[in-house]
């Protein structure tokens, strides 16, 4: 249902699309309206009682004139249509040889091509927009390529730096390992020497138990003099 108050009478007449006059349309609408409500199904549907009644045959429709559409009525396409008709009448043999996709040019910038209407101005605008978009895309692509090259160079430098650091790390690890081995060997040698010194100390401690061997008690000068005295022979030809 359609509310009559929300729609103008003229809009209803356009929606119905009949060839009747305005009075006849209003009279027809008054039959299907009740309380400002339009029951449009009464205009489109057929009642069960009238369904089996004989009807008049539908009028014969000229498909050729229907296929022409509004080209013969609208002044925009009237010149192009008449020109095409005159060409077809004068030279019927050329119709088969002419390309079916050949457009009919008019002075308004609208072309009939492939059974559809093409606006040349809009096409040019779209082409310009697409061309601008393409140029912008190419510029962005060039910038991205430059950034990609710079990124590749930086990545290459970083890889070389990383390789160098890895080599230095390996050499440092090898040096550290060798130093650890040397340190371990030095510790072992130190332990050996320490044990030897301890053994020597144990051996010589009873021999020098009553002798104080501190350097303060034996100055270097006295030690040298004693060494000279000890080196002199005695009268009997022996040493002290």
Question: Read out DSSP for 144-212?
Answer: HHHHHHHHHHHHHHHHHHHHHHHHHHHHHHHHHHHHHHHHHHHHHHHHHHHHHHHHHHHHHTTTTTT--
Q: Does 126 score more than 80 pLDDT?
A: yes
> Per mean pLDDT, which range of 3-17, 66-80, 151-165 is the poorest?
3-17
8 Å CB contact between 239 and 230:
yes
Question: What is the number of H-type helices and E-type strands within the chain?
Answer: 9, 6
pLDDT for 184: 94
Bridge pairing between strands 33-34 and 37-38: antiparallel
DSSP state of 1: -
Compare 191 and 230 and report the one with higher pLDDT.
Answer: 191
Q: What number is the average pLDDT over the span 78-99?
A: 49
| pLDDT, tens digit, 9 for 90 and up, residues 172-216 | 999 999 999 999 999 999 999 999 999 998 888 888 776 655 555
């Amino acid at each position: 249902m359609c509310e009559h108050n929300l729609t103008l009478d003229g809009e209803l007449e356009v929606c119905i699309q009949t060839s009747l006059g305005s009075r006849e349309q209003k009279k027809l609408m008054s039959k299907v309206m009740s309380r400002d409500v339009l029951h449009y199904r009464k205009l489109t549907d057929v009642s069960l009682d009238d369904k089996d009644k004989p009807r008049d045959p539908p009028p014969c429709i000229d498909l050729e004139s229907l296929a022409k559409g509004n080209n013969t009525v609208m002044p925009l396409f009237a010149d192009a249509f008449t020109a095409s008709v005159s060409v077809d009448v004068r030279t019927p043999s050329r119709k088969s040889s002419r390309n079916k996709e050949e457009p009919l040019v008019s002075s308004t910038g609208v072309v009939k091509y492939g059974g559809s209407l093409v606006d040349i101005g809009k096409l040019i605008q779209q082409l310009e927009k697409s061309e601008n978009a393409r140029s912008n895309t190419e510029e962005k692509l060039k910038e991205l390529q430059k950034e990609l090259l710079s990124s590749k160079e930086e990545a290459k430098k970083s890889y070389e730096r990383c390789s160098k650091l890895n080599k230095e790390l390996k050499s440092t690890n090898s040096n550290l390992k060798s130093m650890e081995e040397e340190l371990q060997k030095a510790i072992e040698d130190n332990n050996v020497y320490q044990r030897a010194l301890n053994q020597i100390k144990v051996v010589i401690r009873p021999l020098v138990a009553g002798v104080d061997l501190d350097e303060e008690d034996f100055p270097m000068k006295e030690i040298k003099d004693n060494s000279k005295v000890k080196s002199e022979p005695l009268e009997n030809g022996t040493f002290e």
